[in-house]
Structure 1
């Protein structure tokens, strides 16, 4: 079964410096039908004004993934990391026993657009950790996050995997999946047909009880999506 979550139906919060769309309940947005999906708790689609950002704040017992789709993040945390993270980079911060960090738009003139993703870990506590990497723009599926950090991926404290999907116009891929797993697709750019059901930017698709997905780009522009494989 494929259940489409339309971008227009997401929660929305606009603070002037931050325009955020919430796939799942977050902050003042609450919908009991969308409290998360398996271990996936948050997908926030954030646009941050030049020079603005999130001041120092804390997290505990959460796996936090950021993906920059436009601009550069200025990141600073209590583990001693002070970095700029440009477009195309993935970041995974395991909060463990507790971590504080700040995130700002590093530019005084250009907007910042990113996805902020939270996944509930399968164990509490542990030393906080930080990982960051650009996985390029390879066509098809590219592994980004795995439980073991295999093949240079980012290691997560959960039985979960994250793949980047990139398809050129007029191309498609067939993906074999486990019917017992929970798959979630979030479209970043372009359009994507998932078993002939079309997604537009910001749309999501919950997939259950299927063993095959046909992902097709039938448009004239590239498609970029994230595919979560969850317990």
Structure 2
């Protein structure tokens, strides 16, 4: 059976603009609802967020969700009710397991205790949510700098719960059927995507061309059902690409 490629353009995404926040949503999120666009495979959320300096998401709850954050530009301050805190920067893989329940905040790293911004640079990041293998797990947090792995070229495994990735993944997630890979593809460089039942390919920056889908710009995504190792090639300025490998899908029955 041939692969099915569903191309989703950047300007087709849901858009939230709240002054301090400029967010694009690949799937239904918050007040944006389309019953035909709630997930792909095991991926429920893929938000492309830009947060202004001196601002951010105040403390809010999550439950039974694996949340992966990947910063493209700037720094994002994370704090949660389990006592974890720190600044997430480009190349630092970060995962939060909400489990039985967790509270956290995410703010531009310009934020200070006085509420006065120290710089005027926004923070740009992609946040992705997938369901865990089981509900009611203990909340958790993990992060790891993978800049050295990215510098080697090719795909780097950013996060995975798949048993076969135990020796190469950056951080673990509680989902045995999913893995997230990232590559900083050089101009004209060609890589193969994984062979898997469901692959979600997202161009976080730059441009690329995917075999069978054609040219992809920043913010474009391709949902591949029955992926067979199609080739992706970096555009004139290269590309940073996030690729979800999924061997199962959320049941809609």
Interval of TM-score (by shorter of Structure 1 and Structure 2) = over 0.9
Show the 5 A alignment for 1:131-150.
131-136=142-147, 137-138=150-151, 139-147=153-161, 148=163, 149-150=166-167
Secondary structure of the structure 2 residue equivalent to 1:221: strand
Q: Distance in 2 between matches of 1:28 and 1:114?
A: 21
Q: Distance in 1 between matches of 2:28 and 2:5?
A: 20
Secondary structure of the structure 2 residue equivalent to 1:8: helix
Task: Tell me the residue number matched to 1:183.
Answer: 199
Show the 5 A alignment for 1:72-151.
72-107=75-110, 108=117, 109-136=120-147, 137-138=150-151, 139-147=153-161, 148=163, 149-151=166-168
Q: How much does 1:73 deviate? A: 0.8
Aligned residues: 228
* Shift in CA distance, 160/105, structure 1 to aligned 2, threshold 3 Å: same
* Shift in CA distance, 176/128, structure 1 to aligned 2, threshold 3 Å: closer
> Greater shift after overlay, 109-118 or 188-197?
188-197
Q: 152, 162, 167: which is aligned to 2:185?
A: 167
Q: How much does 1:152 deviate? A: 4.9
Q: After TM superposition, which residue ranges in structure 1, 4 or more long, deviate above 4 angstroms?
A: none
CA deviation profile, 1:156-213 (whole Å, cap 9, x unmatched): 11110110022111110234503xx200001011111111521111111000123221
Q: Distance in 2 between matches of 1:206 and 1:176?
A: 13
**Do residues 67 (structure 1) and 70 (structure 2) align?**
yes
CA RMSD of aligned residues (A): 1.3
Secondary structure of the structure 1 residue equivalent to 2:158: strand
5+ residue gaps, structure 2: 111-116, 249-253
Q: Distance in 1 between matches of 2:64 and 2:194?
A: 31
TM-score of the superposed pair, with normalisation by structure 2: 0.87
> Greater shift after overlay, 34-43 or 87-96?
87-96
Secondary structure of the structure 1 residue equivalent to 2:168: helix
